[in-house]
Amino acid sequence: MDNGRYFDHAATTPLNPDVLAEMMPYLQGVGNAHSLHSFGRRAEQAVALARERLAHVLGAEDPGEITFTSGATESNAWALSNFARVKASPFEHSSIADAIASGSGTFLSNSGYALGPSDPSCDLIAVMAVSNETGAILDCPARPPHAAWLCDLTQALGKIDLEAPKFDMASLSAHKIGGPLGVGALWNRTGLALQPLISGGGQELGQRSGTLNVPGIVGLGAAAILAQDNLESRSSAAQQARGIILEEIASLEGWQCLDAPRQSPFILALAWDGLAAQPILEALDSEGFAISSGAACSSREAGPSRTARALELPPKNRSGVIRISFFGNNHAETANLLAIALGKAIKSLRSLGRE
């Protein structure tokens, strides 16, 4: 398979070889980070370095504010479990949105990309930094002083400049920035007292029990540093690739770009009139290209996504939203080939009346 034809980096990114190289001694070696012998101390030092690296990239003054988890989904669940009255943007990842939909809170209203005022009765507001489906950069609405803000940084870390944080907690995952699957963190930057989601051995200063995933944590720290160091060049490459695609498909009829006023260059969402996303994806897959119809965790669900509904797209557009997402290995040549293949697929599907 040609990794250059992989345009689904918002779902997951390939493991960076330099990250793997840093992980290898801990994948092949032994040592529990909480053991007192030299093997354990070596693992503990590696975890401490990863925590310091991540803190540096995030701008955390105290590395101790960062607790390693299995990923942003766990981090979000942990944060939500500590609050009774939650409100969330209509664009949140399913780890938050499903909890809201099940009765654990309510969604904020949407008008374009402007979020409505928060209810003063809420004690937690969840608003992600970057939409994982459209790439829109979101802001938290006005909130009462007592309400905490949980910000999902999964599509923001190493991809956009993180301004001086106004949020109280942030979740993230390693595998969106060239790191390994199954590891992430919760940054509790204001020191809110959180009850653990997972109890047991009291690891991670009693905040999250369980034997630490040392190689994964090492990989997260390494990936965060590399992503931050390469942010400008990757952003420029993503901007160029999305520009090539938009230029190539400009002559096609019946489509809409879902860019927001403030937009991450790493995600390009397109809505196609009267077409369903799945046949488009299948046509491109047959040409060796990987894109998606939205978040990977909900890609098998029938009907338009929650985000498509929240954007109040016309019914003819809602089922035809595709997501093209970039990272390190997408170049101008393959972006052009993808755009050509996309144009052919759209013309073919329209001629066949595929909806």
Catalytic residues: 297
Question: What is the DSSP annotation of 206-227?
Answer: TTS-S---HHHHHHHHHHHHHH
List Cβ neighbours of 203 (8 Å cut-off, separation of 6 or more): 33, 34, 209, 210, 211, 212
User: Which residue from 339, 338, 351, 350 is spatially nearest to 273, judged by alpha carbons?
Assistant: 350
Question: What is the DSSP annotation of 163-201?
Answer: PSP--SEEEEEGGGTT--TT-EEEEETT------SS-SS
Angle separating helix axes 332-352 and 277-285, nearest 10 degrees: 130
Which tokens hold the place of 202?
Answer: 């009291």
